[in-house]
Structure 1
Amino acid sequence: MQITPTPLKGLFQIEPDVFGDARGKFVEIFRESRYDAAGIDKPFVQDNFSWSVRGTLRGLHYQLARPQGKLVMVVKGTVFDVAVDIRQGSPTFGQWYGVELSDSNMRQLYIPPGFAHGFCVLSEDAGFLYKCTDVYSPPDERGILWNDPALAIAWPVKTPLLSAKDQAYKCLADMRTELPRYESR
């Protein structure tokens, strides 16, 4: 397994070892000691799974008082996955990182607390797995508008399928009072 830091502090791209033969493939998707060694040391307390059709865009989501770190991967299909640093005071505030996650590359992304997260489905459908460091807390749920011009995310879809909630989110500049703070540790 190769765990690589991205240009955004705390955000890691993970390339698990994939073992394949005529029967299919096997991949270890989580071993606590390997993630601890890379600095991903928060316990995961909730697992989520979503199934979405082509063109769906979910995000950009975050929780304020109970922020979630997320270890994400695709178990079927292909998505373009995005993490945005929304930590006030961070040297990379407002910057985003995007990567293709698929059932063929088995790549993972660790998104630390304090980042907004979203993805769009590029394949006919996609099964998406999340391991979270805190439980879902409806009162803490927040979001940033997926196509905020200031973020300029290079989404590979122009007219995505969106929930009413995702369509109604505000731009990052309008959320200044509802953003996490950066801790430089």
Structure 2
Amino acid sequence: MMVRRTELEGVLLFEPTPHRDTRGFFSRTFDAAVAESVGLQPATFRQDSQSRSHRGVVRGLHGRQGCGEGKLVRCSFGAVHDIVVDARPQSPTFGRWIALRLDDRDMVHVYIPPGFLHGFQALSEVADVCYRIDREHDPAADVAVRYDDAVLGIRWPLEVMDVSARDRKAGSWSDFCELLSTPAA
């Protein structure tokens, strides 16, 4: 398994080497030693979750307030257009985003450290996305920015077919930036 850094500090791509033959494939989906070699603490991962989405569905852009949330994300079935937005106010890449293709062919995983927003669009008829997170989910700490925010200008490759009510009601990037500058009560 190889690890590659991205243009966003702390966002890492884990690239496994699937072994394929006539039966199918075998691949490592996690390796604590590899994670440790790039400074992650695998023992801190607390929860695994999975979502299933249909072609054109967009989920996100989601993040966590407070300490944030680190997560290792992979597409275990199908393909997604994955988006990671730097939401760390002190970062030189604050407000920049990257797009990645995660799929069940290359099996690349993306590690997203605390302080980022994350979302994706299902490219295949069905896409399963697995998340390994380092905090227990606390709905009170959830933050969201609209998937179609004009300031961020994220380009989704397919027509957006469906989003959750929560994501439709999410605030803008400007609202989010205002939230960041408001001291906690």
| TM-score normalised per structure 2 | 0.93
CA distance in 2, matches of 1:153, 1:40: 29
Task: Give the 5 Å matches for 1:67-146.
Answer: 67-146=68-147
Matched, 1:4 2:4: yes
State the one-letter code of the partner of 2:160: T
1:162 corresponding residue in structure 2: 163
Conserved 8 A contact 1:64-1:178: no
Aligned-pair CA distance for 1:177: 4.1
Secondary structure in 1 aligned to 2:72?
Answer: strand
Whole-angstrom CA distance in 1 between matches of 2:32 and 2:14: 14
Aligned match of 1:183 = none
The amino acid across from 2:121 in the alignment is: C
Moved over 4 A (4+): none
Whole-angstrom distance in 1 between the partners of 2:97 and 2:126:
24
Name the SS of the counterpart of 1:60 in structure 2.
Answer: strand
- Unpaired runs of 5+ residues, structure 2, are none
Report the counterpart of residue 148 of structure 2 in structure 1.
Answer: 147
Shift of 1:152: 1.2
1:41-80 map, 5 Å: 41=41, 43-80=44-81
Q: How many Å separate the matches in 2 of 1:91 and 1:145? A: 22
TM-score, normalised to structure 1, is 0.93
- The equivalent residue for 2:23 is 23
The letter for the 1-side match of 2:39 is G
Structure 2 letter corresponding to 1:35: A
Q: How much does 1:172 deviate?
A: 1.2
Q: Counterpart of 1:49 in structure 2: which amino acid?
A: Q
